[in-house]
Structure formats: structure tokens, C-alpha cells
Chains A and B, each alone.
Chain A
């Protein structure tokens, strides 16, 4: 345990943190010294005060909970559908022939464009957000899973065959574990994307959650809180990503090693 903690401290990026601190100090000096003069451009210290006010309010945590729910549910749906679709497309060239053109046509569509459609169908609801999240967040999982499965060495199929493993077992015990590093890459991309999409959906679609909090504080002319919302969203993104990284390295040590050496 002690060694793990020391390793964590040794890995911590102190120079990176220093850059952020220096930038914040310069920002603070520029605003205080009157070099930057906008009516609604707060100094980092004011944003800090705004953030501490937010953290103390129950309404803010309700917003956080709503956004997290939307992100996680959307990401899970995208993950399950994406892996299933990716496995099928990776395994079968004919499925790939049928579906890849559609995937390539749908993939570049901006998710935000679905907001009006989703609003018409589902109104101001979590479902609207989920539509906006799931459709774009699906593709990184599909594409990476497909690539991972299609790249599994032919020999592994033959190993499954010589031990007469049933097809379902070849998929679950050989194919998916072999493709796991790629699948995890897709899931990570998809998680970051899900947060961005949830915020956008809340800004222009369903008026709840952290995305709407930014808009609300802007309209209430509370720039410090508005910046604090934005910074909190950024921190949330980092925390979610780190949680996923830590969880995968705990659950799948071998696949994480493959990711690092890839």
C-alpha cells in the first residue's frame, strides 16, 4: 500500500500543476490591475468564491446528480449497443458490408442536430438528453470494438476450434477479451463525449442539470457562478475519466497493460 502511494506521488505531474497555477495568478493580476476590463469577466478568486457558494447549495448538487444520471445512463446504453454492434460487425464481413456504409453516413452527424427532433418526440425530459447523448456516443464504441474484434489473430479462433469450444464461448472467452483494449479505448472516448453531449442537451434542450445551470447563471448576470459551473464540469470530466481508468486497471489488469504498451 505504502509503495503504491509513493508511486502515485512520484507519478503526479507537479510541473503541469505549476503551469495552471501560474496562469491563474497572471489572470488574477491582469483583472485586478485593470488590464482586462469587461463587465462580466471575473478574476479566479471571484470564481473560487462562486464555486464555494455553489458547493454549499443543495440545488447545485441536484443539478450535478441529474447530469451524472444522464451521462451514465446514456453512456451505458451507447456502450451496450456499441459493443454488440461492434462485435457483430467485427466478426462477420457480410454484416460489415451491410452496416458499415450506414455507420459511416450517420457517424459525422452532429449530435446537437438531434435536439429539436428529440424535443418534438420527448419534450423536456431525460429521454431528450439520452437521444442526444446515445446517438453520437455510440460510434466510438462501435468503431473501436469492430476494429478490435476484426484484428484478433486467426490463430485464436483455431485454438478455440481445436478445444471444440462452442461459438458463444469463443466470443465471450477469446474474442472479446482479446479485443478488450480497443473496446476500452472506445468506451473512454464515449464517456468524455457523453458528458459534453449531456451539457449541450441541457443548454439547448432539457432545462435541468449542470448545462442549464451555466445558462441560468449567465442570464442572472452571475459570471463568477457561471465560470464556476464551467470549471466544475471540467473537473467532473477529469474525475469520470480517472474513475474509468482506475476501474479498468483493477478489473482488467492485462488489458490495461496492453493499452499502455500499445
Chain B
């Protein structure tokens, strides 16, 4: 991914002092279940900073998706507080868009790629602005040639890029991504990971990325939260200070990468059944 390696680094934009994007404290979620309620998340506290890629990794059934839905305003926290840019979250906030794992359900199959990408802009921007933004978003994910195709004419990886473009078109300050590459093959996954980092470098969009793939979490993340157990708790966080831009071959061979991978693995393993 050339564009990634050539993209300018903007570490200086990342403000590590205050100025938090998300701030969660003591968040618990109980969801309705066959018999009463079941606690899915317990006492979750963490912050997400502007401009960073924050990955949440853990085994299935630990409430990762629920946590992402809480950040996206689709699910309410039962207790605790979730703040975005200092405001208490009450519903889907305007600076946030969720990218779902199941792109085939999340795309409007009856609309062309361009019209899918325009979904969040319609009635909010004028026609010229919509056209410009749709074009920009499609260029970011390298789908400008497929603007007039229908989703069912595209491969899985391309459909997921449509979903990412649709999210980027509304210029969110943060993308919430729920295992977006889990259904894709290894090669497509690797190229989309690099594209995503490229998009972050070009747009400055923050990313909260949920995955059960430890390597993916380390490769993409500036910071990692490990979530385990049922109800899920955040047991560890790691600052991933690997050199940027990251590279599918070089980064993954670095001793530091392997150490992080080992450490996250241990963090999950020691708590997975706890």
C-alpha cells in the first residue's frame, strides 16, 4: 500500500493530555434475556483520544459488540457514564458512524455504490456537495471506478470498502468498527487494514476497532484494551508504540510486535475462563 507509506505522519495532532474523544467510566450493560436480564458488560472504564486507533480485543461472548454499540448510541449503558467530547451520550452522536461486520446486510442492495455512500448526506448537503463528498470518499477507498455498480456486483472486500466510504462521507470524527474484516479472506483483510490506516492518516479520523484477532489488534492499534469474561471486563490496556507507518511484512516481524502479540495472548488466556 504505497499511499500509506508515503502519507505524512501527524503524530503531533494527537493530543494525549485531556481533550478526550470518548470517556467511559463505570459502564455496565444488562440486556433483556429469556429469564429477566443478563449482565453483558461490567464496570468498564476507558478513554479514547483524538486521532488514535483504539482496538478492543477479546474472545467472543465478552460483550465487545455491545460495548461498541454503547459508544455508537445504539445501546444504552445501564449504569455509568459515556461522554463524547465532554457531552453525555444520549443517542447516536453526530460525530460517530458505525461500520458493521455484515456488509451485505448493512448496504442498501437496491442502491448503487454512489447512492449508498450518499445515504448520510441526503437532505443535509446540496447536490454539488454530495457529489463532491461521495467522490472523495470513494477515492479514499479506491472505488471511484465502481460508483455506478450495485453492491451485489462487488466482492466482499469491495462491499466493506463501500460501507467504510459511506461512513467517511459524513466526515465523522470517529469510526466505530465492529469486526469489519472478520468475514474476509487473509489477503483482502491485510490490504484493507493498510487502507484503513491510510484513511486515518489522510483524514485524521479516530477509530475504535473491535476484533477477536490478536494480530489485527496489535497491527492496527495505537492502544489495545483486552476484554474478557462474561460479563465482560477490561482487564488490560496496552500502548502499542510500534513504529509508523506499519508494514504487513516488516512490522509483523519486529520483536516488539511479537512481544505485544504474546502479551495480549497471555492477557486473554489467563482470564478467558476466569
Contact = CB atoms under 8 A, between A and B. Distances in A.
Given A156-B105, A158-B74, A163-B170, A252 B96 contact: no
Contacts of A180: 110
Centre residue among A163, A164, A174, A252 by max chain B CB count within 10 A: A163
Contacts of A173: 119, 122
A103 interface: no
For this complex, into which size category does the number of interface residues on chain B fall? 20 to 34
B120 A163 contact: yes
Nearest to A153: B105
B108 A161 contact: no
Contacts of B111: 177, 254
Contacts of A32: none
B234 to A, nearest CB: 23
Given A153-B105, A164-B92, A159 B100 contact: yes
Given A161-B92, A164-B92, A156 B170 contact: no
Contact of B92 (A162, A169, A255): A162
A111 B123 CA distance: 44
A162 B110 contact: no
Contacts of B91: 164
Interface in B92-119: 92, 94, 96-98, 100, 102, 105-106, 108-111, 119
Contact of B110 (A163, A165, A169, A254): A254
A169 B74 contact: no
B72 interface: yes
B120 to A, nearest CB: 4
Nearest to B169: A163
A158 B91 CA distance: 12
B108 A156 contact: yes
Contacts of B92: 161-164
B100 A158 contact: yes
B144 to A, nearest CB: 22
Interface residues of A, number: 20
Given A158-B74, A161-B74, A178 B94 contact: no
Given A155-B100, A155-B102, A158-B100, A178 B110 contact: yes
A162 B74 contact: yes
B123 A162 contact: no
A258 interface: yes
B150 interface: yes
Given A177-B110, A180-B110, A252-B110, A163 B97 contact: yes
A156 B150 contact: no
Contacts of A164: 91-92, 94
A125 B23 CA distance: 70
Nearest to A157: B74
Contact of A178 (B73, B108, B120, B170): B108
24 contacts: A153-B105, A155-B102, A156-B105, A158-B74, A158-B106, A159-B100, A161-B73, A161-B92, A162-B72, A162-B92, A162-B96, A162-B98, A163-B97, A163-B119, A163-B120, A164-B92, A164-B94, A165-B119, A165-B120, A169-B123, A177-B108, A178-B109, A180-B110, A252-B110
* Nearest 7 CB-CB pairings of A with B: A254-B110, A163-B120, A155-B105, A162-B98, A153-B105, A177-B110, A155-B106
